[in-house]
Structure 1
Amino acid sequence: MTIETGAKLPAMTLKTITEDGPADIDSASIFDGKTVVLFAVPGAFTGTCTLTHLPGYLDNRDEILAKGVDEIAVLAINDPFVMAAWAEQTGGMGKIRFLADWDGAFTKAIGMDIDLSVAGLGVRSKRYSMLVKDRTVTSLNVEDSPGEAEKSGAAAMLGQLD
């Protein structure tokens, strides 16, 4: 079942890269008591994700944070090393939190998984964005197609923060 506005995100473990290498990070430490913009992409280094979706959040980072958001995070079903490389290559390291849903457990738990085997990607995340306040989803924007980044893009999210 797909998560809906008003629902709480599950407490689960994701992965991230630290100076000491890959590390587990509990979703509660990301979302509890905070206002977070979370957006998800089908895959790091893929076309729309790298050329449109992520750059929109990087370019609008300061404006989003100025509207009372504590943090912006991007999530993909990729390993933490890929997410770290993507952060480095795009200039996002230290600006946006890059979360690796390495086994897809978080994505499946919130019903945002999609089988993109036809494109050679396997099971991935749908493209979406959400505003999360104290682990509760207050807005949710899911794209109709994984190749689009309009509903879930930074401009759309900025409009929801006013």
Structure 2
Amino acid sequence: MSIQVGQHLPEAVLQYIDNGVHRIDTHSLFGGRKLVLFSVPGAFTPTCSERHLPGFIQHFDAFRAKGIEVACMAVNDAFVMQAWGNSQGVPQGMKMLADGNADFTRALGLELDASGYGMGVRSKRFALYAENEIVRGLWVEAPGEYRVSSAENVLANLPA
């Protein structure tokens, strides 16, 4: 069963690059802050590169104006996430997080078996909004869709 609104986020360790590879546990990432985490099936894939990440880049300042940080995650390695972020012009302050072994994705119950496409275990396309490690909003896409996890939809449906 997947994570639900009102639940505490599970513990896991993610990676990102900022002058070297860094590990960050979910307690440190989400603790004491408001954060939107959106996850994509794969860096450099068509919908992720043409629509999902660009939408959050475009609306990054709108989230920040509400006191909300933004992070992107994929089941890729930290080097791929850094290269993808650089190629897309990700703004300073948006973390590009790698869940290389899908540990956090599995703990959330939001894994996707993409082995039929040669991609192994990936993350479903989703966005979640958390305040101090508690999920306050969750938008999970149906397979092959991109609607509810868009930056525009998340902004329009943030809990009061």
Q: Per the shorter chain, which TM-score range?
A: over 0.9
Inter-partner Cα distance in structure 2 for 1:124 and 1:93: 25
TM-score, normalised by the number of residues in structure 1: 0.94
Counterpart of 1:153, as a letter, is S
Between the aligned residues of both structures, percent identity stands at 43
TM-score, normalised by the number of residues in structure 2: 0.95
Inter-partner Cα distance in structure 2 for 1:32 and 1:121: 32
User: Residue 8 of structure 2 aligns with which residue?
Assistant: 8
> Aligned-pair distance for 1:68?
2.6
Counterpart of 2:17, as a letter, is I
User: Residue 22 of structure 2 aligns with which residue?
Assistant: 23
| 1:60-139 equivalent positions in 2, closer than 5 A | 60-69=59-68, 71-92=69-90, 94-139=92-137
Q: Which ranges in structure 2 are unaligned for 5 or more consecutive residues?
A: none
User: Residue 154 of structure 2 aligns with which residue?
Assistant: 157
Aligned-partner SS, 1:4: coil
User: Residue 42 of structure 1 aligns with which residue?
Assistant: 41
Checking the alignment, whether the CA contact within 8 Å between 1:48 and 1:148 is kept in structure 2 is no
Counterpart of 1:148, as a letter, is E
Alignment size in residue pairs = 159
User: Residue 53 of structure 1 aligns with which residue?
Assistant: 52
Checking the alignment, whether the CA contact within 8 Å between 2:8 and 2:133 is kept in structure 1 is yes
Q: Which ranges in structure 1 are unaligned for 5 or more consecutive residues?
A: none
Checking the alignment, whether the CA contact within 8 Å between 1:84 and 1:93 is kept in structure 2 is no
Aligned-partner SS, 2:9: coil
